Structure formats: structure tokens, C-alpha cells
């Protein structure tokens, strides 16, 4: 990436999961450094998120496809093989990944659900800035292939490449395959991300450390801000420090650090110019 101009996309994932998340996204965009949000279109507070996004025309909104640990959009009868006993996607991604790859009837239902989420996003009337997946399930080749096939029908032009400098060695070949397939499909993407290793812990200190050591190229720093509350937002977020992540997005020191980069900022469409 040496010599490439810098660009920076600042994204909040799980937009629509809860009203506390939506309020944090709005605050961080109006008063902080947040430029984009990834919408869980089937989540409980998705309608509230869409209403807020419509009132924030500079906030770039993408689709955060949920295929694990979350709620489905398609009618349950048509995707029963994907759901657990509670009618939700489970969190055993290894098991589900094997089933996606080897079982044709499961792949058919997976395609049905992916299409349903794209269709639901299209009905909002929001411009589709980017696509990514909850827990980065698009690293799975079957999931990625279906997203590329279906997404082009709905105007998908950009996806997150979940490559972080600290990625373990075993994961790097998978990321290289994702990069190559995106490039072959003509889907633009970031060069790297920050936020995987510190998921749920992107506080001010983590931000300042990251900003002081960003490579050239287009980066995406993503996080999970939310207002404080009495209950955890999901089982997988029990240790997330949502309030500290929101305060980092509102931090004058973080804003100053971003300005000091001299980078182009915005959503995927703004930074990658499609």
C-alpha cells in the first residue's frame, strides 16, 4: 500500500440492533467523527434506525447482513434449516459454515435469506453505500459467492475487506481469496480495517494508537457505540464497552488525529469515488 493516498471510513456496526445503538450513531455522526453505519435490517430497532438515517443525509448507510447470532428477515417456513429452536440464527459458525458448503438445500435457503435482506434494505429508499456481514461471515466462500451474485441486482458496489494487520496467519489466505474475488467482481473495498482485535474496546486510547500507526491506502475503522443501559445488547456483547466507544467517536483528540492524517473521509462511496 506504500504510496497510495490515504482515505478513512469510520463505521458503526449493528445500526438498528437497539434504540441505544441508534441514538449513539446519531450523536457520533452529528457531533463526532462517525461517517458511516451498517444497518441490521431485520433487527428490533431497524425502523427507528432508518428514520434517523433519513434525517442524516450525510451519514452513509450500508447493509450489515446477519447470518449468525441474530434475527432473520425471510419467512421462517422458507429458511427453517438456518434457524435454531428459538427461530433465530445460531452462533455456531463453524457448523453452519460446513452446512452452507456441503448441503444444497441449506444453500438455497441461505440465498433466500440474503435476498430478503437486500430487498428489505432496498425498500427503505436509502442509498446502499456498502455491504458487510455480522461477525464477518462473508469470509466464508459460499456466503461471499451468494452476496456477490445477489448483491449486484441491488446495486452493491462496495464491501468491507476484513483484513487487519494483526490477523492470524491461518486467516490470511482466506482474506486474500476475499480480496481477489471482490476485485474480479468489480466490487470496490477498503485496503485494511481497524477494530477486529479490539472489538468492543475501541476507546479513545485504542483510537489514538491506531491513528498514530495507520498505513497508506483506504482504511476502515469500525466500532460498536451505544448509550449506556442496564441490559447487554446481545449475548456476544457482554464485555463490550459501548459507552467508551461512543465517547471515543466524540473525542476532540480523535477528531484532531483524523484531521492530522490529511485523509479523504466519508463513506465507501465518498472515499472510493464510485
pLDDT 10s digits, 142-156: 999 999 999 999 999
Q: C-alpha grid cell for residue 132?
A: 458487510
169-180 average pLDDT score: 95
Q: Count each helix (H run) and each strand (E run) in the chain, helices first.
A: 10, 9
φ, ψ of residue 62 to 5 degrees: the values are -120, 175
The terminus-to-terminus CA distance of the chain in angstroms comes to 20
Read off φ and ψ for residue 231, nearest 5 degrees.
-115, 150
Confidence of residue 1 (pLDDT cuts 50, 70, 90): very low
Predicted confidence (pLDDT) at residue 2 exceeds the cutoff of 70? no
Chain segment 14-68, per-residue pLDDT in tens:
999 999 999 999 999 999 999 999 999 999 999 999 999 999 999 999 999 999 9
Res. 235: pLDDT tops 90: no
CA pair distance 62, 251, nearest whole angstrom: 24
Q: Is the pLDDT of residue 173 over 80?
A: yes
In the block, cell 463513506 appears at: 267
Please give the share of the chain, as a percent, with pLDDT higher than 70: 99
Q: Hey, is 10 helix, strand or coil? A: strand
What residues have CB less than 8 Å from 256, skipping those under 6 apart?
Answer: none
Provide the pLDDT confidence category of residue 238 given band limits of 50, 70 and 90: confident
Residue found under cell 435476498 = 115
What length does the chain have?
274
CB 250 within 8 Å of CB 28: yes
What is the spatial distance between Cα 6 and Cα 264, in angstroms, rounded to a whole number?
Answer: 6
Show the domains of the chain with their CATH numbers: 7-272 (3.20.20.370)
Over residues 56-99, the pLDDT tens digits come to 999 999 999 999 999 999 999 999 999 998 899 998 999 988 99
Amino acid at each position: 500500500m506504500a504510496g497510495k493516498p490515504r482515505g478513512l471510513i469510520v463505521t458503526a456496526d449493528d445500526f438498528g440492533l437497539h434504540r441505544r445503538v441508534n441514538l449513539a450513531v446519531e450523536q457520533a455522526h452529528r457531533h463526532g467523527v462517525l461517517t458511516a453505519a451498517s444497518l441490521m435490517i431485520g433487527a428490533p430497532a431497524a425502523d427507528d434506525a432508518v428514520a434517523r438515517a433519513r434525517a442524516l443525509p450525510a451519514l452513509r448507510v450500508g447493509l450489515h447482513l446477519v447470518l449468525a447470532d441474530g434475527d432473520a428477515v425471510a419467512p421462517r417456513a422458507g429458511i427453517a434449516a438456518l434457524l435454531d429452536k428459538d427461530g433465530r440464527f445460531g452462533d455456531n459458525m463453524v457448523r453452519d459454515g460446513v452446512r452452507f458448503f456441503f448441503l444444497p438445500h441449506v444453500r438455497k435457503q441461505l440465498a433466500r435469506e440474503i435476498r430478503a435482506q437486500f430487498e428489505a434494505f432496498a425498500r427503505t429508499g436509502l442509498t446502499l453505500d456498502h455491504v458487510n456481514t455480522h461477525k464477518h461471515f462473508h469470509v466464508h466462500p459460499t456466503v461471499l459467492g451468494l452476496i456477490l451474485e445477489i448483491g449486484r441486482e441491488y446495486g452493491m458496489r462496495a464491501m468491507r475487506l476484513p483484513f487487519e494487520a494483526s490477523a492470524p496467519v491461518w486467516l490470511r489466505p482466506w482474506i486474500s481469496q476475499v480480496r481477489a474475488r471482490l476485485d474480479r467482481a468489480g466490487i470496490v473495498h477498503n485496503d485494511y480495517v481497524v477494530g477486529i482485535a479490539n472489538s468492543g474496546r475501541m476507546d479513545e486510547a485504542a483510537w489514538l494508537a491506531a491513528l498514530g500507526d495507520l498505513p497508506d491506502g483506504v482504511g476502515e475503522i469500525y466500532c460498536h457505540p451505544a448509550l449506556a443501559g442496564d441490559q447487554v445488547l446481545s449475548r456476544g456483547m457482554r464485555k463490550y464497552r459501548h459507552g467508551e466507544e461512543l465517547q471515543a467517536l466524540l473525542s476532540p483528540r480523535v477528531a484532531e488525529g483524523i484531521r492530522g492524517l490529511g485523509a479523504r473521509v466519508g463513506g465507501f462511496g465518498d472515499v472510493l469515488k464510485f
